[in-house]
Structure 1
Amino acid sequence: MASVLRRKAADRGKSLLDMILKERKFARSIVVLVFKATRLRLSRTSHKPGSVVLISAKICIKSNSFTRLVEAEAMVYVSRSTSIPVPRVYSAFEYKQRVYIVMERIHGQPLSVDWVQRSSTSKAKILEQLRLVADEMRKIEVPEDAGVSDICGGPIYDPRLPGRSHWGPFPSISAFHRQLRNGIVPDDIRDPESIPQDLRELFLFHQQLWGKPVFTHGDLSSLNILAKGDEVVGILDWETAAWMPCYWEYTAARDANPQNLFWREEVDKFLTPNPQAWEAEAIRKKYFGDL
């Protein structure tokens, strides 16, 4: 019986999920079955299945060992608070200690695919839209008691964080900065005169009055921005979304992975340049480890 269901799920995954979503009855076991069957089918071809499985022209499912329910919460929150194009979330649940997010499949191409081939006019149009996206995120209302946390007040997730991917939550930006320095404060250093000049600059940067954190996507990479022609149609991967220091969006976007190095030169064109923050991050990495 199980094998029959598995075969039917692979063959009829689209119709099953379309029916479930249409009726708003999310049979979790069926969603999981369709996800696993589709991944199995893809693994038997030349395609290496990733964390997102495309089920139909309108639906996809995201699930990996790092997927959390708060990512779905972030997408819903952004869609309700802004006009930023994010996937519509149909369902999100935990099943046998693994999270599944059933969401809209947005048709578009990552900017990473053809950015270098685009004309300067095309790039300018897209960068202007990304400036508006960043502006809208900055205008999202921050909870009165917000510290550095995910949008639900839990630990932040960032695969660049040293040692572990989940940190906090922290009651304040100062507490977050202190943790980034392994808990070290200037008073801990017996001989203040021995502190290197660049480390002094890091302490001064961290000790500024930061005010409230701001809503931050945390990974505005060209890999996570979909465009159709010259229109930005989707901002993806909200797993790192959190309440963060105001500079974090900039330094995170500029800290490009090897597949995305060209994007570093574009970040200053849609996010407010912050060379002081970029330099401070370089100093922090030098003394306290890479993100």
Structure 2
Amino acid sequence: MRFADAIRWFFALPDPAVDRSAMTPIQLSNDAHRRKLRTPFGRAMIRYRILLESIPHRVRALVGILWRATAGRWLWIKSTDFAETEIATMRYVANHTDIPVPRVWFSFKWGNCEYIVMDRITGITLFDALRGGYLQDGNKQDMIAGQLARHMAQLRSLAPPPNSSISSVLGGPVRCPRLFQDPLYGPTAPAPPTGPFKSEATMNLQLRHLRNLETCVPVVVAAHSTAHPLVLTHNDLVPRNIMVDHAIGKVVAIIDWEYAGWFPAHWEICMMINWEKQSVGLGWRGWISRILPRHELTYAQELEADASLLKALWVPERHA
């Protein structure tokens, strides 16, 4: 083997005698990869590249271990792009009710994402407690349901500021996966902001995908012709967002307030029943009848109308 050929083989360089002009980019890439696999230098470079690509994952894993062993025992960091609104909501709820919410220490932005540093909540989610069979004791179930009922009564008793619209506690846009989904980002992306809505009629128009009310089924016509008072709404009150101490039957925190805001009084239960599917097999409907005992009957028409629109039209992709 000539010296030039040996050098070309060792460094996995292409043979100039081979015509590659007709090869596609994929064929050229595969040819280069095969050459590298045939030489010690090429194989070493492939292993080196794999090692470099794995370093960020290893660093993240190491940082995670160190965090959980130190400050992570007391603090929780949540990544979001709606931090200001969620922080304002949690502080508003903490200042006006005795609903347990995580205490926020500070927030910061890194790259394109915002982070909220808050207290780590001890306990498990109600979802895990139900799925794990930790709440077989009916007395503990009653205790937790009773606490949630009192918390929701407090939340719904808060009066909105004068001239309020359907908005966040800051008066700006809201986030709700039922109200709007940008088609450019797909159904699995976080709900983008929508609103604020100047009236319930505007929000209803968006739910109908901008269709005239007269074209809808009678239950939608009846529900969307009724005005409802605005109440502070969690908007995602489901078992995965309720932290409990199942051993003593206590609600230790209600978390994830990024979707919260001032909404019509029926909206909480519409989201709890029509939108929440993950907890159906855990008897969630029975819990709702204890957490919001009157509302399942009071807003039966609104529930049916929302379910009808959801089935027929799905989530709006345009703003009203």
TM class by shorter chain equals 0.7 to 0.9
Residue 232 of structure 2 is matched in structure 1 by 215
| 2:219 corresponds to 1:201 | yes
Q: Is the 8 A contact 2:180 2:194 kept in 1?
A: no
Matched residue type, 1:105 = R
Matched residue type, 2:61 = R
Change (3 A) 1:37 1:76: farther
| 2:269 corresponds to 1:250 | yes
- Whole-angstrom CA distance in 1 between matches of 2:234 and 2:221: 26
Once the 2 structures are TM-superposed, how far is the Cα of residue 96 of structure 1 from its aligned partner? 3.6
Matched residue type, 2:204 = H
Matched residue type, 2:75 = I
Once the 2 structures are TM-superposed, how far is the Cα of residue 144 of structure 1 from its aligned partner? 0.8
Q: Is the 8 A contact 1:215 1:243 kept in 2?
A: yes
| 1:220-239 equivalent positions in 2, closer than 5 A | 220-228=237-245, 229-239=248-258
> Which residue of 245, 250, 259 maps to 2:278?
259
Once the 2 structures are TM-superposed, how far is the Cα of residue 97 of structure 1 from its aligned partner? 3.4
> Which residue of 268, 274, 289 maps to 1:268?
289
Change (3 A) 1:44 1:106: closer
Change (3 A) 1:121 1:44: closer
- Whole-angstrom CA distance in 1 between matches of 2:171 and 2:59: 33
Q: Is the 8 A contact 1:60 1:103 kept in 2?
A: yes
Matched residue type, 1:267 = I
> Which residue of 114, 126, 144 maps to 1:99?
114
| 2:240 corresponds to 1:240 | no
Q: Is the 8 A contact 1:221 1:256 kept in 2?
A: no
| 2:159 corresponds to 1:141 | yes
Q: Secondary structure at the match of 2:279?
A: helix
Change (3 A) 1:63 1:203: same
Moved more, 134-143 or 263-272: 263-272
Matched residue type, 1:40 = R
Once the 2 structures are TM-superposed, how far is the Cα of residue 290 of structure 1 from its aligned partner? 4.0
Once the 2 structures are TM-superposed, how far is the Cα of residue 233 of structure 1 from its aligned partner? 0.6
Once the 2 structures are TM-superposed, how far is the Cα of residue 112 of structure 1 from its aligned partner? 1.0
Provide the alpha-carbon RMSD of the alignment. 2.6
Q: Is the 8 A contact 1:173 1:213 kept in 2?
A: no
Q: Which has the larger radius of gyration?
A: 2
Once the 2 structures are TM-superposed, how far is the Cα of residue 162 of structure 1 from its aligned partner? 4.3
Change (3 A) 1:140 1:130: same
Residue 108 of structure 1 is matched in structure 2 by 123
| 1:32-181 equivalent positions in 2, closer than 5 A | 40-41=60-61, 55-64=71-80, 66-115=81-130, 117=133, 118=135, 119-164=137-182, 165=191, 166-181=193-208
Q: Secondary structure at the match of 1:74?
A: helix
Moved more, 262-271 or 214-223: 262-271
Q: Give structure 1 stretches of 5+ with no counterpart.
A: 1-35, 46-53, 188-194
Q: Is the 8 A contact 2:75 2:117 kept in 1?
A: yes
